[in-house]
Each structure stands twice: as C-alpha cells, then as structure tokens.
Structure 1
Amino acid sequence: MTQTDPTNSVDPGGAVTAPGLAMEFDHWSSKMAYSPYDVWSRLRNECPVARTPRHGGYFVLSRYEDVFAAALDTDIYSSDGDGLGVAIPPQELRPLYPIDLDPPHHTKYRQLLNPFFNMRAVAKLEGWIRDLARELIAAFPSSGTFDVCSAFTLPLPRRVGFKMLSFPEEYTEEVSELVEAIMSDVTDRQGEAAPKLFARLSGILAERKSGTRQDDLLDTVVFGEIDGTPVSDEQSFAMLVLLLMGGLSTTSAALAVMIEWLADHPEDRKRLSEHPELHSVAVEEFVRFSSPVAHIGRTAMADTEVHGCPIPKGSRVLLGFGSANRDEREFERPDEVIINRQPNRHAGFGIGPHRCIGSHLAKLQLKVALQELLAAMPPFHVHDHGQTHWVGSESRMMDRLILGMG
C-alpha cells in the first residue's frame, strides 16, 4: 500500500493517525487475489476507512462492525446507486437483478427465485450431487499428482448450476469460460467476453421462450412476473447472468480452499473423519475462511461518516467481506480454520437482505464434497504450493491446485 495523501500522518510505529488515508488499493490486483491478508490487516488496524483512486475512486470499509452495519443500511449504502450497481467498476450490463436493487424491489425478485433455493428444494438435490461427487472423485488418479481444481472444484459447482438451470449441455463449457473471464479480468468485463456472453445467453433465452413450458428455474427466469407484469427480455437476461456468476465460481472457491486446508492439516482431516457431527459446523468455517465474495460495492446515497471519516453523497464504497471475516475483534484466531468454531457470525454469504440466495445449495455441495472426499480419498497433500493459481475481482478463486496422492 502506498500512502498518497500528505494530509494523513503516520506515527513512527506505522499507525495511521488520521482517517481516510488515500492509498494504492485495487481489489482487482493479483496481490488481492493471491494474498490479501496483510493488506486487510493493515486496513483494519491502521485505516479502517481508506480511499483509493483506482477505478474512479472509492472508499474501503474493512472492519467487521462497519461492513456489517453498512450491509444492513440500504438507505445510505445503496446496491442500486442510481444505476451504478454493486460492481466496481460498474458492469456494462446493469442492473443485474436482484443484486443491483434495494428493497423493496430487490425483495420481489428474491421471492420469484427463492422457491428453487430454499432448504426443502435444495435438499432434493442431495442424492444427485452425491452421485456426481463420487463420479468425479472416482476419476482421480490413485498415485502421482493432479489438478484438483480442473478435476473437482470447478466441474462440481458448474454441473450443479447448469442442472439447476436446465441449461443446454452443448453450451456449458463456452458459457463457463466466458463467465470466468468476466469475473476475473477487468479488461474482459469491459471487452470481448461480455458481448460474446450476451449473444450466447440471448440465444438460449429466446429458444426457451419459444418452446414448451417446463416449470423449472430457467422458465421462471424467462416467464416470471413481478407485480403481475411479465419480466422483460432484459430482466430475464440479467437474472440469468447473475445466477451464472453466483453459482459457477463462488462454491468452487470455497471447495478449493477447503481441500487445500485439509491437505495441509491432516489432523483436521482425521478429526472430521472421526466426528461427522462437525461437518456442518466445519462447512460454515470454510466459508468464513475462504470468503469467496471478498468485496462488494455500494453507493453512498447521503453524506455520512465512519470513524470520523466523511463519505460524501455519491461516493462509491467497497464493503470488505473478506477482511471482515478475518477481523480479530470478532473472531479468535481469524487466520486459522477452527473446524468446531461456534458461534460463527461470518459474512461469507453476505449480510442482510442481499445474503446469497444460493447459500443452502453452496453449503450442501461443500458438505457432500467433504464427506465424499473423506470417505474415498487416500492421504493427500499439496504437491507444490508454487503452482497454485488464483484469480480475483470482487471474488477470489483458485483455479489450479496440484495435489499429490499418498
């Protein structure tokens, strides 16, 4: 972090003595994808309200209590932001329904989609997800090394997500690649990937709209109604993009971090094997520790201040969910996985009205994956941490993790 504002001072011990320190912070940088933890720690402890000039300029909230309060205060910290949405820099396509809306409009879209993501609906998928996990694990090599991301952590959530959407199989690979490009590279978000994705998804939606009703999630996206009015083509497209962006990468991120931790900590692997009653608790902890959606944007709709730092109306504000989940004020030993951590009021699925609609589905995939990996895999370890590859933006995800067997 580079201090760029001479009006802020730093004492000899390195502590910021004035709020609002301007600095070179960019949540799209490779530093924040690979190893953001020291930056988050410095923000929380030296400058809990920072400002960066990147991407048009925005404030960064990093402490748990501040992120939590801002996420709940939709009147001040708007997800709509007069049309800017939650992405920094803004998506070319916006608004993405419902994430780029505030209540009560946001609530109406959630109610439209919720029947497919509530606990009862998700529970019906457990058998299929378990069979899929076993199928993927059975293809692992019995010895040597392999990339567990390409073999497991990427395909499992993708296949689950596309099944949820009754997606045409011939397009899944192309769409996966385009969604990942948009989520992991700011130039792709504003470059060639977005119009390619637009063209492909528009074709899929048009085909479904002209076909026989199937009473599934994709039908709801295409034929749903808000306040008795059918959703427009634009609204259908935006909902589909959001479902893909939320479903194809965030669960992959948590899966890879879970596997990496278990590879490095055989004592936790052993404990979880012997104590299945800890599996649900451990899943929550892996979500906290991984924080797949590390940052999300808001727009200040009125002048406000945090810790004495003025945040003027119209300012863009980045909520640091990842930093909040590592805040030592809220979590004991926050940089460790404590598999029986309770209570665990983490922000891994977001906070408040915008809490992840797919959280039940994500937790089911993580729990099933944990159980099947523990049951079927021989001892494993990370073969070479130097080959691990991360991509990042608002989200952080490993897309290469090389394991050694035995």
Structure 2
Amino acid sequence: MSVMTAADHRIPQEHANNLADPAAYADRRIHDTYRWLRKNEPFGVAEIEGVDPFWVATRHDDILEISRQNDLFHNGDRNPVLTSQAADRKVREMMGGSPHLLRTLIHMDAPDHLKYRLLTQAWFMPQNLKRLEDRVRVIARAAVERMAAKGGECDFVNEVALHYPLHVIMEILGVPESDEPRMLKLTQELFGATDPELGRKSADADKPMEERQMDFGVITDFFEYFRKLSEARRANPTDDLASAIANSQVDGNPISDLEAMSYYIIVATAGHDTTSSSTAGALWALAENPAELRKVKADLSLCAGLVDESIRWTTPVKTFMRTATADTQVRGRNVKQGDWLMLCYASGNRDEDVFDAPDTFQVDRKPNRHLAFGYGAHLCLGQHLAKMEMRILWEELIPRLESVEISGEPAMSQSFFVNGPKRLPIRFKMA
C-alpha cells in the first residue's frame, strides 16, 4: 500500500477501532461512530493495529462517487473485504500471491466482471422473475402458516426469516430441500466467522479475531458440496441455476473450478442471508413502531415502501473495500495509487443530508435513495429477487398480523462485513 500523507485527517482511535470491531456492529456503537464521522471527518484515514491504513467514506455522495468510478477504484486489486495483515498474508501464501480465497463477482473488475455477471444476469432480471412470482407466493404462504402455528410466540429470525429466502434461492439454484439446513449453517459460519455464536467452533477458536475472519474449513466444505453438484449438472443439465454455472463459458472456454465454486458460494450465501436480515430488521422495526405497522395494514401498497425502508434501515452489507488505481482526490483529499478505501453503506443510508429523520423508520419514506445494493457496475445482481421475496411475504403476512411486540432480548450478529439480526423473540396475534 502507498504511504498515506493524510495525518491531519486521521480518525480518532476510538472510532477507527469501532470500524473493525465486529461487536460494535452488534451493539450499534458503529452508528455513533458513523454519526461522528459524517459530521467531523467524512473522509478520513483509519489506522488500526494489525491492519493496513485505509480511507473511510461515510457520506452518501462520496460513496456514490467512488462506486460510480469502477476503473479508478477497483474491487480486485486487494481484498474487497476489510482484512488483517495476518489474514492477507495467509491467503496470499495459499493462493500463489492472490489476495482472494474466492473469485466471485465482488472480486472482479472489468473486463472479467461483466463477462461473469452476464452468465447469470438473465436469471435475476424482473421479466424473468415474474414467472417465479406464483411459486414464491406459495413459499411465502407456507412460511406464514408455520409462523401462525407457533401459537403467538417465536424467534422470528430462526423460525421464519432465515428459512423463507433460503428455500427460494435453493430452488432456483437447484439444491435439494434436504440440504438447506447444511447451506444455512455454512452461510452463518462464513458471514458470522467473527461471531462467538455463529462462527464455527474449531481448534482455531482461541486465535485472535483478525485470524478468524475467514474460516478456511467452511470454504472447503462449500467447495466439496458444490463440486459434486457441478459434476452432476455437467453430466445431466436441468433447468436450474446450478446447470447454468456448471456449463458456463467465458471467451469460449469453460470457467475454472475456482470461479465456478466461487459463483455457487456467492449465490448460495448472499442469495438469502441479506434478504433474511432485512426481513427480520423490518419486523423488529414494526414491533417497535406499531403506528408504521398500522399504516401498512391500512394500505398494502406500502409493502414496497416497507421493503425499501427495511433494506435501508438494516443495510446487511455494512462495508466494502476499494483500491485506488491512480492518484486522485475525494472530498478534496489526496488519495494515492494503491490506497485502500472503505465504503460504509450503513452510514450513507443514514446521511442527514440525504434522508429526512434518518434514524426514524418510515414505511412511506419517499424518496428512498438507499445504497444497500451498492451502485455502479457492482450493483447487486439479486436486488430484484430480494425485493420481490420481501414484498410477497409482507403481502401475505401483514393482513393477518394483528399485533406484534418484542418478547425477549433481540441480538445482532457480530460482523463488520455482513451483519443483521440473529435473534428476534416476538409475541404476536394472527387473524
């Protein structure tokens, strides 16, 4: 990394440490840090022991501007997820110098990014998703019935929110329903590697957090599963996304094993985890704001607004990193070639200059220009599917939901990358 010349813009240590502390995202200290940074140092440098220094973008307009310039700010030159120096060294040793343990769309830049995105993009376009809408509604109704059968109390995360989008994406991918619990566990171990409850319990459990960021055993287990699925789909293709990935080609050649396995993993994890987080975040907010629930019950057309507001409110993907490819300026600060930048989406989504009363949950918020799906070339491939799933669930659940309240202690996962509710005990009445 280049030697930064921004000492005057160094972020106070307490706030810098919060940016890399998984617990700060669970107990919501991170929002205090974001609020301070937006006001006092919206584009400053974080220096944290054991981590290369990095710029931190917390304002909505800066995040948009950086995301728009995909040639100037790369995903793939370094790890697009904040990582420690120790973890970076270990991955480079394993991968022959590459900073990436996986090679998914989030690890790619032009021209590869578009080539690989086009392999599956049609599956997630609105016109093709329409043919899935009836099936998704059947799955949503089954989820509502399971909730109703709980007798008025449940953990909404673990008994409803996790399983509904999981079942949808696994059907699309072609994973048997009997394997869904395995996929859920591996996803939680991957995204929750730094969470003491969700992370894999292993011999490495006593290692420092920064060395447990990526559990290599979880990646290995994913690879073993999807390698068998890929072999089966190459031998006998079917009408599912796994067949499309298994038999895909780029520039006339089959994609590599690493790229195929990485593709399966990103679809099988991001394809449901972020949706379940936003779904749980929505019900949590509705339980704490019964007037907002009454609004939606009185006008179901607000379900679409509820979806967008819950995505803004929860912002499951908290951060992504970019690497400057040339000397440039951001907010008048000199960014050098090779500098690392953190995009704080959850901060941009509460930017006071963009959102009226940003810390208030409003189902009828308009406009709602949230950044939770990213922007530019890396705009989330599955955004339309996620919105459709959530909208349909609320259309089925809210007419029957007479009331809901928090009945215990909710909890957020401990992660500075992908984070959301991991426990939401509720008491409810159903019609």
- Kindly indicate whether residue 209 of structure 2 is the aligned counterpart of residue 198 of structure 1: no
Q: Take 1:28 and 1:137, find their aligned partners in 2: how far apart are those partners?
A: 36
The within-5 A match list for 1:327-366 is 327-366=351-390
Give yes or no for the alignment of 1:100 onto 2:98: no
Read off the aligned partner of 1:253 and give its amino acid letter: S
> Which whole-Å deviations, capped at 9, do the CAs of 1:255-276 have from their partners, x for residues lacking one?
0111111111121111111112
Q: 1:405 deviation in Å?
A: 2.0
Say yes or no: does 1:52 pair with 2:56: no
- Of the structure 1 ranges 183-192 and 43-52, higher mean CA displacement relative to structure 2 is found in 183-192
The question of whether the paired residues in 1 share the 8 Å contact of 2:296 and 2:303 is answered with yes
2:10 to 10, 15, 20: 20
- Once superposed, what is the RMSD of the aligned Cα atoms? 2.2
**DSSP 3-state at the match of 1:296:** strand
Structure 2 residue ranges without an equivalent (≥5): 1-5, 92-99, 195-211
- Give yes or no for contact 2:410–2:421 (8 Å, CA) kept in 1: no
- 1:39/1:214 CA distance change after superposition, 3 Å: same
Contact conserved, 1:58 with 1:318, CA < 8 A, in 2? yes
Shift of 1:330: 0.9
Alpha carbons 1:52, 1:59 under 8 Å: kept: no
Please tell me whether residue 174 in structure 1 is matched to residue 174 in structure 2: no
Q: What secondary structure is seen at the aligned counterpart in 1 of 2:190?
A: helix
1:246-257 equivalent positions in 2, closer than 5 A:
246-257=270-281
Mapped partners of 1:389, 1:20: distance in 2: 29
Task: Describe the shift of the 1:286–1:334 C-alpha distance in structure 2 as closer, same or farther (beyond 3 A).
Answer: same
Counterpart in the other structure of 1:399: 422
What displacement does 1:315 show?
Answer: 2.2
Q: 1:216 to 1:145 in 2, by over 3 A?
A: closer
- Contact 2:412–2:419 (CA under 8 A) maintained in structure 1: no
AA partner of residue 193 (structure 2)? D
1:73 corresponds to which letter in structure 2? Answer: Q
Partner of 2:26: 33
Deviations, residues 220-244 of structure 1 (Å, cap 9, x unaligned): 1111122222212222111111112
Shift of 1:306: 2.5
Aligned equivalent of 2:205: none
1:2-401 to structure 2, matched below 5 A, reads: 18-21=8-11, 23=13, 24-35=17-28, 36-50=30-44, 51-53=46-48, 55-81=51-77, 84-89=78-83, 92=91, 93-140=100-147, 141=149, 143-186=151-194, 187=212, 189-209=214-234, 211-384=235-408, 386-401=409-424
The SS at the match of 2:372 is coil
TM-score (ref. length: structure 1): 0.89
Q: Is the 8 A contact 1:165 1:218 kept in 2?
A: yes
Gaps of 5+ in 1: 1-6, 9-17
| Aligned CA distance change for structure 1 residues 28 and 194 (closer, same or farther; 3 Å) | farther
Match of 1:4 in 2: none
My pick for the range that moved more, 162-171 or 112-121, is 162-171
Asked if the contact 2:311–2:372 (Cα under 8 Å) also holds between the matched residues in 1, the reply is yes
Cα shift at 1:108: 1.5
Equivalenced residue count is 388
Deviates most, 140-149 or 163-172: 140-149
The SS at the match of 1:102 is coil
Q: CA deviation at 1:144?
A: 4.6
C-alpha deviation, 1:358, in angstroms: 0.4
Q: Give 1:282 shift.
A: 2.6
Work out the CA distance in 1 between the residues paired with 2:188 and 2:160.
16
Q: Which residue of 1 aligns with 2:97?
A: none
Could you tell me how far apart the structure 2 residues matched to 1:136 and 1:55 are?
43
Task: Please say if residues 20 and 49 of structure 1, whose CA atoms lie closer than 8 Å, have aligned partners that are also in contact.
Answer: no
Normalised to the residue count of structure 2, the TM-score between the two structures is 0.84
Cα distance change on mapping 1:22 and 1:310 into 2, 3 Å? farther
Structure 1 CA distance, aligned partners of 2:18 and 2:330?
Answer: 19
What's the CA shift for 1:383? 0.9
CA distance, structure 2, for counterparts of residue 223 and residue 22 of structure 1: 50
CA drift at 1:56: 3.1
Residue 15 of structure 1 is matched in structure 2 by none
Q: Distance in 2 between matches of 1:387 and 1:99?
A: 31
Structure 1 residue 159: Cα displacement: 0.6
Percent sequence identity over aligned pairs: 24
> Residue type matched to 1:390 in 2?
S
